[in-house]
Amino acid sequence: MTIVCAVDFSEGARQAATVAALLAARRERTLWLVHQVAPAPLIVAAEPVREGLQALLREEALRLEALGARVRVALVEGASHQALTDHCVQHDAKLLVVGPPRGELPHPGASASLDHIAQATAMPLLRVRDAAPFQAWLAGQRPLRVMLGVDRSRGTLAARQWVGALSEYGPLELLAGHVYYVYEQCQRLGLPVPATMDDASPLLQETLSREVAALADTWAGQPVRVLLRQGVGRAADHLVDLALEQDADVLVVGTHHHTVLGNLASVAHHALRLAPMAVAAVPVRPAASQGEAPLPQVRRLLVATDLSPLSDEAIPLAFALAPPGSEVHLVTVVQEPLTPEEHRDFERQLLERVPRGLEPRQVRVKAEVFVAGEVAAMLTQAAERLDADLVCMGSRGHGGLKEALLGSVTRQVLAQSRRPVLVLRPPAR
């Protein structure tokens, strides 16, 4: 496995190469110092141009070798950024390091080579402006302050895995930044919408903080400080501002080759070019197809029943999936208001359905009774509020939900939920 650093012999590229060399030396990996040249400069005096560029590469390699890195150089010819990508693939590169774009861009939406490189590569891209924070970190003088941009996309999963790998180089101070829109989150969680968008309730902030902390939980024992920011407009600007306010050394975001992900819509696109700190753009890879996806942590389950015999048959199967130390919320939804006594009676009925034998696994059980006209919407919102890792439902039922579970309600939950939904069909009799 290697690290590739693309250089254009600018001061920014020199800073990036320094970081790449220090990282490579720390893990005893080969560093490839690569300069890509388009065909046009080679039309006239091709050999002298090649020799001059090779000499510059060798000179830079000597400087980096003094930092302890094992350096190899390559002059890649081609106008397309695919040539750089092919070099990375050929040499099994796990990280591509680049400097900032040269000069000022015409406007924030302008296309730049960094965008093309980020789109073309299937590996993390680290854009560096200043090597000093990395030098202090790798010298053991202080932790590296890393802000992880968090939303509910696969990009966040990819980014947090990369942060976990980064911690193997040295200690990190991890911040989790999340940009949210009050109205959207209230709708998702089933909370009252405030009179003004600036008035986020304590319950909303507490719920979001808990969710973000769980999403940013990169490795055991590493404390994560959650930072929430209300945002109107482009989420990228707010997240970059948040990272700047917190003096983050690196902003880490997930990205995708073809589409944007979640609320962090244009963060990687804009941060790579505009953020004053280093930025790591981590692409989503088909990890599950390659057997590389980590096992999900199921800490909290929501199990829905309408208290009918058909629906109840799924309850033991759902509890069988609950890992030791997990929490199960056994819920039902009624459509008419309840008196306190009726509410307690429904809770009692739910607890009567809890299977025996859970004590050795220390599974905590909570009975929840919700009142709502839209059953599927309430179950979906409850799963969000409870931060359920898995929603379990029977394949059919009738009674309190008033409709067959794999008629309208389960189909609606499957369509609406952002959480994994498991439909459990009882064994055939």
The residues, any chain, with a CB within 8 Å of residue 18's CB and separated by 6 or more, are 64, 67, 131, 134, 135
What pLDDT shows up at residue 33? Answer: 95
> What is residue 417's three-state secondary structure?
coil
Q: Mark 85-121 as b/e (b = at least 16 C-beta within 10 Å).
A: bebbeebebebbbbbbbeeeeeeeeeebbbbebbbbb
Please report which confidence band the pLDDT of residue 287 belongs to, taking 50, 70 and 90 as the band edges: low
Give yes or no for a contact between 380 and 413, defined as CB atoms under 8 angstroms apart: yes
193 secondary structure, DSSP code: P
Q: What is the mean pLDDT of residues 159-165?
A: 90
Model pLDDT, residue 309: 86
Comparing 262 with 341, the larger pLDDT belongs to: 341
427 pLDDT above the threshold of 80: no
> Which residue would you say has higher pLDDT here, 287 or 86?
86
Average pLDDT, the chain: 85
Which tokens belong to 427? 């064994």
- 70 or 41, higher pLDDT: 70
Tell me the pLDDT band of 291, cut-offs 50, 70 and 90.
low
Asked if pLDDT for residue 288 goes beyond 60, the answer is no
pLDDT at 404: 42
What is the separation of C-alpha 161 from the centre of its chain, rounded to a whole number of angstroms?
Answer: 8
Q: What average pLDDT does the segment 99-117 reach?
A: 57
Tell me what the mean pLDDT of segment 148-177 comes to: 90
Residue with tokens 């680049």: 98
- Is 1-105 a CATH 2.102.10.10 domain? no
270, 246 contact by CB (below 8 A): no
- What's the average model confidence in pLDDT over 27-36? 92
> Do 410 and 423 contact (CB within 8 A), yes or no?
yes
User: Rounded to the nearest 10 degrees, what angle do helices 267-274 and 113-120 cross at?
Assistant: 130
- Identify the CATH assignment for 300-424 out of 3.40.50.300, 3.40.50.620, 3.40.640.10, 1.10.260.40: 3.40.50.620
Give percent of the chain above pLDDT 90: 52
Question: Which pLDDT does position 296 carry in this prediction?
Answer: 77
Could you give the CA distance from residue 319 to residue 359 in angstroms, rounded to a whole number?
12
Determine phi and psi for 31, rounding to 5 degrees: -105, 125
262: left (phi over 0), alpha (psi -120 to 50) or beta: left
Buried b (16+ CB within 10 A) or exposed e, 239-261: bbebbeebebbbbbbbbbeeebb
Angle at 180 between CA 376 and CA 185, to 5 degrees: 20
How far apart are the C-alpha atoms of 190 and 384, rounded to whole Å? 9
Domain boundaries 143-294, corresponding CATH code: 3.40.50.620
Which of 216-220, 258-262, 371-375 shows the highest mean pLDDT?
371-375
In this structure, are strands 30-37 and 250-255 parallel, antiparallel, or unpaired? unpaired
Domain residue limits, the chain? 1-105, 143-294, 300-424
Region of poorest pLDDT, from 14-28, 133-147, 154-168, 190-204 = 190-204
Q: Where are the alpha helices (DSSP H) in 291-365?
A: 309-312, 314-320, 340-352
Pick the range with the lowest mean pLDDT from 232-241, 269-278, 323-332, 402-411: 402-411
* pLDDT tens by residue, 180-236: 999 889 989 998 888 776 778 889 999 999 889 988 886 545 678 999 998 877 778
- Alpha-carbon gap, residue 179 to 160, rounded angstroms: 17
- Strand order, beta sheet including 390-394: 364-371, 327-334, 300-304, 390-394, 421-424
Mean pLDDT, range 350-379, rounded to an integer: 92
